[in-house]
A and B are shown apart, each in its own frame.
Chain A
Amino acid sequence: DAGVIQSPRHEVTEMGQEVTLRCKPISGHDYLFWYRQTMMRGLELLIYFNNNVPIDDSGMPEDRFSAKMPNASFSTLKIQPSEPRDSAVYFCASRTGPSGGGNEQFFGPGTRLTVL
């Protein structure tokens, strides 16, 4: 398997623009997680899905952030409108459910977002 795939790897945009980050989880994984990493706040969980349904979005910072998972192989994280303080590395991770036997979350390579 190719692992968790994220695109784009780098995104530079101007304040006020819409940004869409994309993630393809590992095939067969039932859970998908979106994280944000900054120097100040470390790795923060934004939202996670189980079988394409959002389970916990308590980490989503504001209404400007939204996430969807239209099917088992694709998820998006959208920021509209973007602000300079959204600049961070955004990671997607996936894992199997309890029947899969493991607890490990597998991380993608991340998307480095810069909002000017």
Chain B
Amino acid sequence: GENVEQHPSTLSVQEGDSAVIKCTYSDSASNYFPWYKQELGKGPQLIIDIRSNVGEKKDQRIAVTLNKTAKHFSLHITETQPEDSAVYFCAASGVYKYIFGTGTRLKVLA
């Protein structure tokens, strides 16, 4: 069945360093790839997304890259800050359904 693998499951970085989270999807029909941030006790919130006809997208300190041939996509956070600490989820979507990755708990150490 459809599957999204996400790595690493936990990631600790020093404040100011970069963080990279990687995902791999199985369904070649997927054409939309959102990234969600979930803070403790809250629902997931979209932070950036990318469509299959784009290879890279950037929004301030956050960027996402997509390699459709390899079915890989990655989230890059530069100049990390303590408020970036949260759980991050990738997802792959065809028409309407999201298949989520298992999440990455990011800790930014001050």
Binding site for B on A (CB under 8 A): 4, 31, 33, 42-43, 45, 48, 50, 55-56, 91, 93, 95, 103-110
Contacts and interface: CB of A to CB of B under 8 A. Distances in A.
Given A45-B97, A93-B43, A107-B36, 11 more contacts: A42-B89, A42-B102, A43-B44, A45-B98, A48-B96, A50-B96, A56-B97, A103-B32, A103-B93, A104-B49, A105-B46
Contact of B100 (A43, A95, A106, A109): A43
A103 B97 contact: no
B43, B89, B101 — most chain A CB neighbours (10 Å): B43
A107 B100 CA distance: 14
Interface in B88-106: 89, 93, 96-103
Interface in B5-47: 32, 34, 36, 41-46
